[in-house]
Each structure stands twice: as C-alpha cells, then as structure tokens.
A and B are shown apart, each in its own frame.
Chain A
Amino acid sequence: MTSAFDNSGEAVIERTIGSNSKYSSYNLELNFELESCVKWILDGQFKKVGLQFPDELLTAAPAVARALTSKLGFHVYILGDTTYGSCCVDEVAAEHVGADSVIHYGRACLSPSRRLPVLYIFTQIAVDEDAVIEGLCRTIDDLNTNLIFTYDAQCFYIADKVANRLREKFPRLIISELIIPSYERKVNKSFINDSSLEDGKNCNGENGSIDNASSVSEKEGYFAFNGRKVKLPENTTLQEYQFIYMGPESLTLTCLSMRFSQQVFYHVNPVDGKVQSITGVKSVMNRSAKLELAKDSEIIGILVGTLGVADYRNIINRIKTIIKSVGKKSYTFVVGKPNEPKLANIPEVDVFVYVSCPETSIVERQTDPALYRKLITPWELEVALLGDQEWSLNFETDFRQLLLGGSRHVEMSEKYKTEETANVSLLTNKTQMLGLRNDTDMDARLSNASGTMVLADGSNMSLIHVGGGGEALKGKSWQGLDPSLPAPVNLGTVVEGFKGIAAGYDRET
C-alpha cells in the first residue's frame, strides 16, 4: 500500500524500480491504452499533453511517451514526482510546462480537479475471474444478501463482467459505477450510459464541478460516495447492504470501509480470489482520539495538501471561520508533500487539518506516530469544534461533502460564535477550552493593540501580538536577535545587487 505520506522520501529512494516490477515486459498497448489516449488527444485538439505517472510506473514512462510522440507527431511531457498524492491529478506540475491537458496513469482517487481536461488511464491489473467468484461464493453463505459491488479503479475494465457473473449467484447484487470527471471540449455530451463505461472511457457529466455531477446522479436515484455512485432499488436503504470490494489492498478500501464502517466489506483479492471480511469500525474508533486533539489545541495549522482538487479554497475558508468562531487560531501552510522534519519545524501548531483528496487525507497509523503534530481531516475538525456536526460511524474523508450542497453540510453563519465552555481533556487531563468568552475585554485589548505603538522592551512583546503568535514567541528561550544591541561589525555601504529571479538573473543572460 503506498501512502502519499512518505516519511522522509527515503522509501522512494530505496525502492528498487524496474527490476522486480510486474510491468517489466510492458504491453504498452494494453496497459496504457495508447489508442484511446491518442484518440482523446486528437479529439480534444490538445497541443501540450502532460503524462502523469505514479512512482512505481515511472520506468515505463519513456516508452509510453515515445510511442505517443511517434503517433501524435508532437512531443508530450512526463510529469514525475507528484507534488501531492499520486492518486490526484497534479495540475501544478502540468502548469509548469504549460500543458493544456493531462493523462493520468495508474490508480486514481477520482477527485474532481479544477482546471485541466484529464484522461484517466487506470492501467489494468490482472483479475482471475473464476477465483474471485469462487472465493466470494465460498465466503458469503446467504445468497440473498444485499450486496454492493465496488472495485478498485484498476479493475474497472472487467468489473461489469465479474459483477454480471456474480449476479447469477447473488440476485440482489448491485454494481457501483465510477464517477469519472471529465472536461471534454466541444465533443458530444452524452450522459452516462453503460456502453461508455464498458469502453473504459470517460463518462461525462457536465463541464464543471462534481457538485453538478453528483446532484445529477442523485436526481436519477443514484447515491454518490467517494468517486462512486450506486443506484439503490426503491425502498431500500444503504444500511441493509454489505459490500464487496475487488482490488488490491489500498487506501480506497480503507476510505470506503471507514465511510461505511457499520457494514461488512468482503475484500477479494483479484489475483488469487482470497476473501477477507473487514469492517472499518476499528479504524473509525481509533481515530476518535484525534477529535480530542482538535479540541485541546490552541493553534490549528491548515495544511494544504492539494492545489488541484476542486473547492479546496472554499473548504479552507470555511475551516478558518470555524476555528475563529471557537476562539482558536489558525495558520495556513503549503509545504508540498508533508514529512516529519517539515512539520516539526512548526512546533507552535498543536494540530494540522489536512486538506487533500480523500485518500491522502487519511494518514496511516504506521506513519502517524513519527509526526510531532498529528493530522486530522476537515470532517474531524468540524465534529470536534462545531456542535452541530455530529460524530458518527460514517467517517467522511471527502471534504467536499462538508460544503454547501454536500451531504454532510452544516449551516454556519459568518458571525457564528460559540459560547465558552470548559471541559477536561481526555488526552492531557488538563482543562480544555472551547468557544469565545462573552466579554468584550479581549476585543478591546485587541483593537487597542493593533494600531497603537507599543515600546518593545521585551515584556511588552506579547501585547503587540496579543492573541496571536506573539504569545508563542514569548514562550521561547530564543526570540531572535535583539535590535537594541549594537551591530558586531561596522555595516558597509549598501550597493545594488542582481535583478531578476534565481534561475536567471538579468545580468547573466
């Protein structure tokens, strides 16, 4: 299982690429669906195409690029070392080369992106149909069980076939579909139909955000979750269903099982048909400590883990408002792929809210302990700080559901203020404060402090920054250089330096 959250990048460096890869003799046509890529590019009349590969497929990248170039007649660009999780479309990297479209290879979380047209090529993995079906029949005794068939995107090409065969055994099985966001230009806007799904092509919603797509789906009786949708028969609720997940063990499965933690997931391995039944209850319960962490914190860092997923700005603004309304402070950080040393450089922050695509936002327990400060998801933050957002066993990894129009949206006005409450923290056994005190003292001090000049004689430092980072600064033994001390050496005269950017100063060209 690859986590987007590599501890020090060490794993990437030490990973031996190529030698043991199962793609050693690539069947480029089959695995990378070159034909459809070419067709998509030509149809869309794209001129600069970025090819995004996850690390484990990078070895195949040159071959794919060469093949495409020869077919298209112009160069394509390889985007390696994704800024955030490799499951998301890396629009930032694409913009560096000024690409007008991206082809994303490998596993994808299917989070809708903001700007560029994207073609998803999932790269197929081998599925032993007979073994899968046999394995499932052996495990699930009751043939009349209500089942929802879900699958990894890499098994997408064969999902319908397997599902149809399974339906012969389990009459009450329904299949979930992938919601593949698409931004086709000009081309025909046919709504989702089965034939387009079978072709492994993009089924298209309207050009725009997924809100539209999912609301369209809901109108048609679909229930959308985690980049998937399912059409439930009438008069049934999701509670009555169990899930089948076909695919290798992955964060997608973790997300799904946490989203529906009260349901049983039959995880079937596509290679050998081994079936494991799992539930996400344990994982959801395990994360409950993080709620307490959010309540305890005074300063919350908003860690931006995506610049591609649509609506990320909206959620950041919403989180800021929430944090302010309960009397805590927030700072926003963009650090690329977060790792231990990077985050430990910001010790003033008590906890980070990680805004990213659903699959990267869950940081595994294995990597988690190494972090000096922990990461939580936006949903967890809302549960902890907003009284109205209730905790439940349906763990929401998709922050877009929290926004207006999402299924977990909670109304919150701009001037929302929580009354001050105090409680015992179950982590530190200290007092835990939430909400704003109903007095104007603080406000007055704040408004006084900003604007008036205060003599910085050390003791007054915190007055300047009252309620801000100044308090954290005051608690440090090293507060920076003392400007009142004379400079150790005579200062020289000021001369004009280079102009321009570091990559090429004016004088150098």
Chain B
Amino acid sequence: MVHLCDDRSTSTVVIEWLRNVCLVGSVDHGKTSLNTCLINGRTKISAACDEDILTGPLYNAGFTALHFKSGVKDSKTKSDVYLGNFIDTSGHVELLHEVTAAMRLVDGALIIVDPTLGFGIHNQKALGIIMRERVKPVLFINKMDKLLASKSKEDIYQILKKTIDEANEIIDTFNSGDDHMKNFSLSPSIGNVAFGSVLHGWAFTLQDMTQHFSKELKLPQDILIEKLWEDNFYDKTNKTWSTNHSENHERTFNAHILNPIMKIYDAAKSLKKKELTQLLETLNIKTHAHSFPMEGEERFNEVLSKWIPASDTIFYMVAHHMPSPCVAQKYRAESLYEGTMRDDVYSAIENCDPSAPLMMYVSKIVPAVEHGNFYAFGRVFSGKISTGQTVNIISSSHMPDVKEEIFECKIQNPSVVHGQNIKPVKEVLAGNICCLFGGNKFLVKAATISTFKNAHCLKKLHFNTPLMMRRSVEPKNPSELPKLNAGLNWLTKTDPFVECQMEESGEQTISGTGQLHLDICIKKLEEEYARIQLKKDKPIVAYRETVTCESRQASTSSPNIKSCMTMQAYPLPDMMVQDIENGSIDLLGDFRAKKAQLSEKYKFDSMDAMNIWTFGPQFNDANILVDITKGIDYIAEIKESCIKGFQWCARQGVLCEEPMRGVGFNICDAKLCTSPNDRRLGQIIPLTRQLVYASFLTGSPRLQEPVYSSEIICNTDLIDNLRQEIKKCRGTIVEEINSHINEIIVVRANIPVTDSLSFKPALFSKSREDIVSQYIFDHWQEIPGNPIEPGTDNIAYNIVSDIRHNKGLQEVLPSTSSYLKLY
C-alpha cells in the first residue's frame, strides 16, 4: 500500500484510489455547472468540509482536489474514499492549448456535451488531444431536461446515439490499437456515458438504472445493461426481447429509461401529487412528494436530483471508469517518454515507481496573487519530489543531445492541491499532481524535472495549431519599455503557447492562436504583468511561402568566387507536409526509421532520403535541405554552414520574410575551394542564401494563408444573413446542422483567417448577441495569383507588397538575377 503523501488529510489515500481528471467541454455546454455540482456534491458527502478551502487562490485556475466516496467498498483496502484532482479547462476552441497542457497532468477526461448543439468543434478537437495523450475519456451528456421537454422518446434516443457515435468516430481514428486503449470507446452499456442535467443536479448511467429494474425484469444486471442500448426492443405484453423493431416492440432504452422519467416529468408538471407519490414509491425513492414545495419542471428536477444525484453518478464514473495513475502510466509511458523503451526511466514511469528517481513534467504555470510568484503544476511520473532536493530542470526548448537548457537547482515548497487551496507537504509521490510555489526562475511554460542521470525528457506538448495571428504592442509612454519587457517575460512563462517576440525592428509582437487568445494575453499584460497602458496595432495574420513546381537549377559562386553550387527547389508532397506538422513523423527519432517512412510513404528516392541534411527553420518544420550530389570533395565540411544559411532563409522567406512551408531544396552540384579557409561560414552562408532565394523564385512561388474552421450557432431566422456574410468573407459553408430544439442552427464553415477579422464585427453589428461563434485553425490554403507579378487585381502580389511595406523592406521584390550575379 503506497500512501500518496505523509499528511494529505485525515484519511490517507493510496495510489490506487487516486484519480486525476480533466473536465473538457465547449462553452455553454455546462462545464462550470458540472464543477460546481461536484463541489456541492462533495459538500453533501462530508459535512466536515472547510468552506474556505473551496474558495482558495486556485479558484480561477480551475484546480480542485476533492475526497469523495464512490459507494462501493474495495474488498482489499476496506476503504471507499477516493481522491480526485479535478482540472477545469477553457471551453474556447481558440484556447485549446490550455487543454493540451492540462492533459499531460491527468489520466482521465470527463467530456461534457450539450446534445442539442451536436458534439461540437471544440469537443472534437479536444478529443483528438485527449486521445493523443492517451487519456481515457468518459462522456457526460448534459441538458437532458431540455430534450425531455421538447422531443419524443425515439427522437431523444437518436440524438443521443448520434452524439455518442460522433465521439466514438474520433476515438477510433486516434486509437493506435494498443491493448490498453481498446476499452477507450464510449458506450452507455459499459457505463462510461452518463445522461443528465448538471444544472439541476441529476444524472444517471445505465448501470444506475439497471439496479432499479433488474428485479422487475428478472434479468441479471450485466445482461440487462447490454439490452438497454442499441437496437434492442421489448414487447410489454408478451414480455419478449427482440432485436428487430416491430409494432409491439418498444426500444428498451425508451421503455425502461425514458419512460419512467417521462412519467415523473408529466406527473410533476401537471401537479398530480398522488400519482407522483405513487410513482416515487414504485421507484423506491424515499422521499415524499409533499416535501417538494416547488412546482412544474422545478419539482421534477428536484425529485430527480434526490433520486439520482448527479455528483454520485459522476463520482462513480470517475472512480470506476477512469484509471488510477499506476494503471494509466502502464500504457501512457510510451507516449510520454522521449527516450528508448526499456531503459530505467521508462520502466520507472511505467510502474509509477515512487522509489525510483524523480521524473516530473510541469505543464501549467499560474501566476499567484502576489506579483512575481507563481504556481507551477506538474505531474510526478516516478519517484518523489521533496523539499531541498537537487534536481535538473530541462526546459521545453531543450534539444536532445545538446547540453543547453538544462539547469540544476534546489526544490522549494512542493505542495499539493487541497480543495482549492495549496497545502505545503514534505514530499509528493509518483502519480500525483504537484504544485511548486514560488518564483523558480528556470520554469518557462513547461519543463521536465528529473533526478535521473542522463534521462531523456518527457515529450514536449504538441500543439496542433500554428501561431497564425500576431499583434504588435508598444507602451503609450515610450520610456516604459523596460516594464513592457518584464511583462512580456511573464506572459511567455505563464501562457503555454503564446510567443512574445521582439522583432529586429524593435517591435514587440505577441503571437497567438487567434483574436481571442491575443485579446486575453494583452489584457493580462495591461492589467497584471506589465501594468502599463499599451498602444496596440491591428492583428496581423501569418502567411507561409511555398513553391508549386520544380524550379530551374540555380547556380552561383561564393563571394570570393572560389566555390560554387547548384540548387533546385521543389514542392514537398502535401501528405508529407501535413504529417510533419501533425508530428506523426518523428523527426528527432531514429534516423533509419524516419528514412524508411519517407521513402515508402512519399516516394522519396531512398538515397535522397538518407541524405536529408536538415529540416527548417526549426527541426520540426516542413522544409528540407537535401544533398543529392555524389562524390563532391569537402561537401561534408560545408554542411553546417549550408544548414545555417538554409534555416535562415526558411525562417524569413524571400517574398515577404514569412516562413517557408513545404519546400524542398536539393543541392545538385558543387565545386568547393580546396583551401578550408576559403570555404568557411562567411562564404558559404551568402552562397546558400542566394541559391535558396533564386531557386525559390523560379519555382512559381505562391503565398499560403491560414483558414479557420468555424462553428457559428445562431437563430434560424438569421441564417440568410449569415450565409451572405460568409460568402462575402470568401468563406465556404461545410455543414448546416439544424438543432433539435429552440430554432437554433449550427453552421460549420471554412473562413480565411484574414477575412475572419472583418467577419466577426460584421456578425455582431447585425444581430447583437444571439450568435455564438468559435474559430480554430484548420488548414493552409493557397492564395491565387503569382505574388511576384505586379498587378492591381493580383491579390497575392498586393498582400506581399503590404507585408513588405509593414516590415520596412524594399517594396519591389528582388529579381532572380540579383541573387545570381557573379562576384
């Protein structure tokens, strides 16, 4: 029996009884109510709960730790007290990176969904993240009261089934086929799907219901539960089961689940007190109808919350359908650890071994009330963390095999979450979520903390979206610039994904995933981190530069005329670009595996695949430099210089200094000077840059713009306006889903990010606030037109000259020949 920590609370909890849970759900689907519901439910369970720990400093950070009972006693430990670390996440799809950061800490995700609005874009994307992190999902279908009030039973069933199927579809696509992940799929008959209304405090799983009906139907619970979902029908008169629908047969779900609830609903609503009392008796609900003073729907909800309280149902699901850390880490280890399998670190993580050296991942940093301090939340995967321990902090920008970005320091104040408060403890053991309080200077965004010698890092968080919008800020009062810099420092540390960049022009730019994200960052900057007034520029959308066909071979000589090289540019296959960006090609992993993958999947010449020098501008971006020369003297010696030159170009493309995307460069031929001094960096970098630029320009270059996938929820009468607006913004409607109630329509559309800037205000000005819209990056799209051909109606050209103007570059694009001039 392993205790989590020495003095956690009155009742000690062993690791098998620990659950780390993340709450996921779109805005307005009821996530916050769920959180409150849990806290209230907890209060009901143990009266000795201190009120103050539930309104602690972590209230806004969304961290809560609760002890709860699941109702079933473990036969071995004779205990039924679980400890749950609950993390609430943002419901805005633009803030999905927050979800990504939270997923690293937990083993289970509770997804809450409003079936009337469909599964939703946020939940779709979030589920992808959940599956990638191998976190086990359970589903809570909310707002059942709305459905019951307006739909027929069969309709309700179909809506529910569609929602669950949608979720399963995503789960299946991400499921790697690992044994442990087979039971990840959601099904009411397993019990990992709950239905209810958190706002009104009631919820049930089919398991709950079978307890009530198994006697009546004379079937054991485990058989009955199978029959309560999918196409199972029940003939009331003959008491027979069937899998085919016929007139006498009613769907079992409708008959046994929805029927009683509907009856209560009707009785409560129509004030038939007698009937209600009778019903309650048959259902063995030990309350009296007259103890409910309210009327109508309120009474119905009150009855149900007594009968099937939501918190009990949820706690049961959390306890029984989510893995404990030691179970989860068995299959998560593979996706967590960067090093090879079967080394010591790996097995320590796999076994969640508290006696092994420490491995911990910090993924969320929350500023504390006092300026200058923060709470850094991390998950201890193996070993234990204690005060005074000397550890290595491996920052998230660390590259393997490089010694940089590893810092040694001493741990102070490890704490755990207690309620919504922080409680300092002596040590925190594997499996738990630990909070480091204070101002540890080495923690930026995320980091691996370890005491293993030579441990690889835990995998970095992978964010699916690029940073495609940036805004430059400057202080209203120029002399306050140092304050702004300090503030930006803070922002960089605490936001998991934002990038604050000082341009070479001295501009301070903040790059984020979208307008909302940027707005939040700037607000924090003004009010909390820098506390100065800012001048803000308009948001700028990031573009990418690419080529569309094989270029001419460009060749030129180095500045000292002693070496020359030939280079050719060509577009990379779309699939490959996407796979690199999704992170499904492990670029840092085993060389041979990577190369085999490249040559098989994308028809790369296997020799060429072996000679890929680098990816650029970073090691995980989709541009490559390939050496296809054969038998050239000294070429290995100039590799470093070429890579430097290439990465410089890939970061600042020739069109308008935006990054390149999906471009491959082949070094076709080279003749290098025999004297090492004459082919040093100073000669090779200019040479490489000129060749990259020249060959890029001859490969019919194009500009790519980011496109949002957006979800707009509005009233049906606004749909015509909406369609027009979308069309105006060069958008295309992908899907229109008629919601099941309230005359609401959900529209899914692809809108270029550039135009979405004007789209949003247009929306609100026309129809005020009856429209909810969410945006998330979807893909890159080519802008029609050749950006190097001047022309007033050439969109691409205009965009390029605009950007060049803004960046203070020469407005006329340099010609190919200017790069190929011979010295």
Contacts and interface: CB of A to CB of B under 8 A. Distances in A.
A289 B504 contact: yes
A282 B485 CA distance: 17
Contacts of B636: 477-478
Interface stretch (A49-57, A98-106, A168-176, A426-434): A426-434
Nearest to A392: B479
A430 B397 contact: yes
B502 A285 contact: no
A421 B636 CA distance: 39
A426 B397 contact: no
Contacts of A286: 505-507
Contacts of A342: 682
A285 B489 contact: no
A8 B481 CA distance: 35
B476 to A, nearest CB: 12
B442 interface: yes
Contact of A344 (B479, B640, B681): B681
Interface stretch (B111-119, B274-282, B492-500, B762-770): B492-500
B686 A341 contact: yes
Contact of A345 (B478, B505, B682): B682
A368 B504 contact: yes
Contact of B508 (A369, A422, A426, A477): A426
Interface string A280-318: 010011111100100000000000000000000000000
Identify the interface centre among A393, A428, A429, A430: most chain B CB within 10 Å of its CB: A429
Contacts of B442: 422, 431
Contacts of A422: 407, 441-442
Interface string B549-592: 00000000001100000000000000000000000000000000
A275 to B, nearest CB: 24
A374 B488 CA distance: 23
B685 interface: yes
A292 B502 CA distance: 8
A374 B441 CA distance: 27
Contacts of B508: 426
Interface residues of B, number: 43
A390 to B, nearest CB: 8
Contacts of B492: 424, 426, 429
A423 interface: yes
Interface in A318-373: 340-345, 347, 365, 368-369, 372
Contacts of B686: 340-341, 344
A393 B502 contact: no
A284 B502 CA distance: 14
A476 interface: yes
A288 B503 CA distance: 9
B683 interface: yes
B444 A424 contact: yes
B133 interface: no
Contacts of A343: 682
A292 B637 CA distance: 32
B256 to A, nearest CB: 57
Interface in B605-655: 636-637, 639-640, 644
Nearest to B490: A424
B640 A430 contact: no
A426 B441 contact: no
A430 B405 contact: yes
B168 interface: no
B397 A429 contact: yes
Contact of A347 (B489, B637, B681): B681
A289 B503 contact: yes
Contacts of A262: 478
A187 to B, nearest CB: 47
Nearest to B676: A478
B163 interface: no
Contacts of B478: 261-262, 281, 284-285, 393
Nearest to B560: A341
Contacts of B485: 288, 292, 426
Interface string B418-450: 000000000000000000000001101000000
Contacts of B404: 430
Interface in B668-713: 676, 680-683, 685-686
A416 interface: no
Contacts of B507: 286
Contacts of A476: 640
A391 interface: yes
B407 to A, nearest CB: 7
Contacts of B493: 424
A392 B493 CA distance: 26
Contacts of B644: 347
A365 B441 CA distance: 34
B405 A372 contact: no
A431 B395 contact: yes
Contacts of B407: 422, 431
B57 interface: no
A285 B492 CA distance: 21
B761 interface: no
B808 interface: yes
Interface in B774-794: none
A365 B808 contact: yes
Nearest to A432: B489
Contacts of A430: 395, 397, 404-405, 444
B474 interface: yes
Given A341-B682, A372-B681, A429-B492, A285 B499 contact: no
A429 B405 contact: no
B559 A288 contact: no
B500 A391 contact: no
B682 A391 contact: no
B756 to A, nearest CB: 26
B33 interface: no
A295 B696 CA distance: 35
B501 interface: yes
Task: Report which residue of A284, A343, A422 has the largest number of chain B beta carbons within 10 angstroms of its beta carbon.
Answer: A422
A427 B488 CA distance: 11
A427 B500 CA distance: 8
Interface string B397-411: 100000011010000
22 contacts: A262-B478, A289-B502, A289-B506, A340-B682, A341-B686, A342-B682, A347-B681, A368-B504, A369-B504, A372-B682, A423-B441, A423-B489, A424-B444, A427-B502, A430-B395, A430-B405, A430-B444, A431-B397, A431-B405, A431-B444, A477-B637, A478-B676
Given A426-B500, A426-B502, A430-B405, 16 more contacts: A284-B478, A285-B481, A286-B506, A288-B481, A288-B502, A289-B502, A347-B644, A374-B504, A422-B442, A424-B489, A424-B492, A426-B485, A426-B489, A428-B397, A431-B395, A478-B637
Interface of A: 8, 261-262, 281, 284-289, 292, 340-345, 347, 365, 368-369, 372, 374, 391-393, 421-424, 426-431, 476-478
